[in-house]
Chains A and B, each alone.
Chain A
Amino acid sequence: MEENIKKDKIYTLLSLYALIIIAWILFLIALYFSSLAIIPLFSEKKPSLIISILQLFIGVSIITLWLIIWRKLAKIWMFKILPKRSEKNGYK
């Protein structure tokens, strides 16, 4: 019994480590692509207004997409990965 509880705690910790590492990698990817979208705004001397707004919109959209994916991942962890098999159907 004690052994099982200890195993559950280690499983929880490692699962959450995996979630944080995935979120970190996704964050770096999102930051890279949003920067690529936004950077031309600051290097051009007279950027077109429409193109600037579009670039800014793309940059913000990428970060928003990261947040949405992060939330989806948290739900998967909460209801699929972390609970015991016997408890997975207990959520209502």
Chain B
Amino acid sequence: MLSIKEIIFSNTICFIITLIMIPLIIKISKKYGLMGIDIHKKNKLLIPKIGGIAIVFGVLISLFIIEFFNFKNSKFLAFIFSSIIATIIGLVEDIKEIEPRLKTFLTLLIGIPFIFLGAYTPYPILPFIGKVRLTIIYPFLILLAFAVTSNTANMIDVLNGSLIISYLIIFGGSIITSYIVGSIEAIFISTLLISSMIAFLPFNIYPAKIFVGNCGSLFIGTAIASIAIIARTEVSLIVALMPQILNSFYILSSFKGLKSGKSIENRPIKIENDMIKASFDKNAPITIVRLITARTSMKENEVVYIIALLSFLSVFLSIITQIFLIK
């Protein structure tokens, strides 16, 4: 059982490691040309694109320090192994683009450590109905859950700070839902993610000095699925992720399959004088950014602000779902 002192100590370590790692990653990215174009800016600046590694190191090293002498906890071990798989897939994608179908298949593998280490309870609790036994289907749902959450996080990372700000709110909500069900492990992982992301945010917020990258977004998506499986808050997690799921679902259904965003001719938005405006093309994919800018053009940071407010609502609904609807 983790004490409050241990949680505070590891969160401080996590914050400091992330902060130290960021300038280091900026240097490495510049040296090896791991730069991405900030496409929503007039001057199309080149920005280091593997910043998420700082978050991964911050969270995993502090978790490793606190659990170094106590690796009997299969849930933490499963989280660490799944995170490593997700980060490697993301890093490969950052260095050399992976074919979308192959990437989706690879993200299905992220959940394997949870299945092999048995770090799950195949009795999810559903609203109105209560506990259901899903011993055969649940392992398959785990694989699917990691693929969905990691790709969903990846697809919301389109604007400076959009991923970090919205997921800070979601992890904040997951602390509350995990507290309701009494899962100290899930609370601990959530706090680590929050500490690391708070350290990262000033560098990623508009105008960004570093991108999260696929390595960071897949890791963050993996963390949220891990928390839901560990705490058994699967349904409230789906509700908390509604704006993000909405975004990825609309993109996939508009694309009619798995395609790279870069290969799409009909762009969902257009940029004029650093302002984002929804495209008038009926065939363009309906994304969350396009919906937000359908009525009036907005600055990049204003769109991120609205995404954050949408996340606040979905997190509020997820807490209602957890408190009032789940028996």
Contacts and interface: CB of A to CB of B under 8 A. Distances in A.
Contact of B253 (A12, A71, A84, A90): A71
Contact of B295 (A35, A84, A90, A91): A84
A23 B295 contact: no
B286 A75 contact: yes
A87 B73 CA distance: 57
Query: Which size class do B's interface residues fall under?
Result: 35 or more
Contacts of B294: 12, 77-78, 82-83
B282 interface: yes
Interface residues of A, number: 37
B291 A77 contact: yes
Nearest to B309: A13
Given A13-B306, A90-B280, A74 B286 contact: yes
A20 B310 contact: yes
Contacts, number: 99
B303 to A, nearest CB: 10
Given A8-B296, A9-B302, A13-B306, A39 B129 contact: yes
A82 B292 CA distance: 8
B286 to A, nearest CB: 5
Interface in A32-84: 32, 35-36, 38-39, 42, 67, 70-71, 74-75, 77-79, 82-84
Interface of B: 126-129, 132-134, 235, 238-239, 242-243, 246, 249-250, 253, 278, 280-282, 286, 290-292, 294-296, 298, 302, 306, 309-310, 313-314, 317, 321, 325
Interface of A: 5, 8-9, 11-13, 16-17, 19-21, 23-24, 27-28, 31-32, 35-36, 38-39, 42, 67, 70-71, 74-75, 77-79, 82-84, 87, 90-92
